[in-house]
Structure 1
Amino acid sequence: MTTPQDPDGRQQQPYIPPPPPLSESELQGSPAAGDRHVPVPKEVQASFWIWIAGAVLSVVGALLALTQREEIARALRDSPQSGQLSPAEFDAAVTFSLLFAVAIGVVFAGLYVLFAFKARAGRNWARVVLTVLTALGLLSLLFGPSLFGVVTSLLSVVAVVLLYMPNSKAYFDAVKRAG
């Protein structure tokens, strides 16, 4: 295929058709496909701040677990396996339980913050991960609910619901199209 020449002997550029007309949603102010900045809806913003609050509560709850040494020791003493432990092993098991609880709380807080930032940026996979973390948090309540655990789980449920509201879904879809 050759490019046509104009009367002066220079080659002309091939014909490029005009862009397609804007869709109805684009005419109404929704972000265009080429627009890299999609405004974050208030539902996603509220969800983000709830996740941050949940992370703070998770850390506070984890640190307060350190003050519950006697309660953990009592619960461990009441378990059938505690009779097989020496005093040193029993003390190590209590310490391990405390440190494990703190580590889990801090890890969940870090994950809440990380994925909250990603969800606010419009990453749908982060919304799914936060949903899974919420389910895991709810399941953890079966193993011994605490006040901070219940409050954090309830906040997580509210935050997840906000991420699936119609405006939020439209936001995640728009970011995906813009990317």
Structure 2
Amino acid sequence: MVTSSKKLTPPATIVAAFFGFLVSTVSALASAGFLLGARQELATALRASDLRMTEEQVEQATTVAQAIAIGVALVIALFYLWLSFKLKAGRNWARVVLTVVTLLQVASLFTTQGETMWGYLSCAVAVVALVLSYLPASNEYITAVKHTR
């Protein structure tokens, strides 16, 4: 790790973890984007429910459901990206939060049905990035950053 006047350069393991979390985020967003293509399936499910909705209400509910799901996915992605940048800056708390989020992501694979290839890809990349963030070079960098503050 190279130092230049108080600013430490992240090791390759942290940089690779950072890019891994970026790829995981983009992959998760792509998966969420497929929700836009599932409009008919969502509308069909609403029609089949016991909610007794008019066709206009089904269309409105479908639009609202898609908008909420996409909005939530974007907020989560922004949070994930922010944590990734904090990890690259050497913040241990960001690594801990990314650990929890990644473990929740792994757990969701076992508890949800209909997970897409993008969801599995996103999770696999996040797990690899997480492992990289705990390798010895990463630990040394995070410790060194902590001592320079």
Band the TM-score falls in, shorter-chain normalisation: 0.7 to 0.9
| Partner residue of 2:104 out of 136, 149, 152 | 136
Q: Deviations over 1:30-73 (max 9, x none)?
A: 97xxx622221111000011111122222222222101112233
* 1:54 correspondence with 2:24: yes
Q: Which structure 1 residue ranges, 5 or more long, are not aligned?
A: 1-28
Judging changes above 3 Å, is the alpha-carbon distance between structure 1 residues 67 and 159 closer, same or farther for their aligned structure 2 residues? same
CA displacement at 1:146 relative to structure 2: 1.8
- Secondary structure of 1:84 counterpart: coil
C-alpha distance in structure 1 between counterparts of 2:62 and 2:112, whole Å:
16
Equivalent pairs counted in the alignment come to: 145
CA displacement at 1:168 relative to structure 2: 0.8
TM-score, normalised by the number of residues in structure 2: 0.83
C-alpha distance in structure 1 between counterparts of 2:142 and 2:39, whole Å:
44
Considering fraction of residues, name the structure with more helix.
2
* 1:125 correspondence with 2:93: yes
Determine the structure 2 residue equivalent to 1:36: 6
Q: Deviations over 1:132-175 (max 9, x none)?
A: 22123234332331222111111111111111111111111111
C-alpha distance in structure 2 between counterparts of 1:56 and 1:98, whole Å:
18
C-alpha distance in structure 1 between counterparts of 2:75 and 2:106, whole Å:
16
Determine the structure 2 residue equivalent to 1:102: 70
* 1:68 correspondence with 2:38: yes
| Larger relative contact order, structure 1 or 2 (CA cutoff 8 Å, min sep 6) | 2
- Secondary structure of 2:8 counterpart: coil
Structure (1 or 2) with the larger CA radius of gyration? 1
Q: Deviations over 1:85-115 (max 9, x none)?
A: 3134433333233223212322222122111
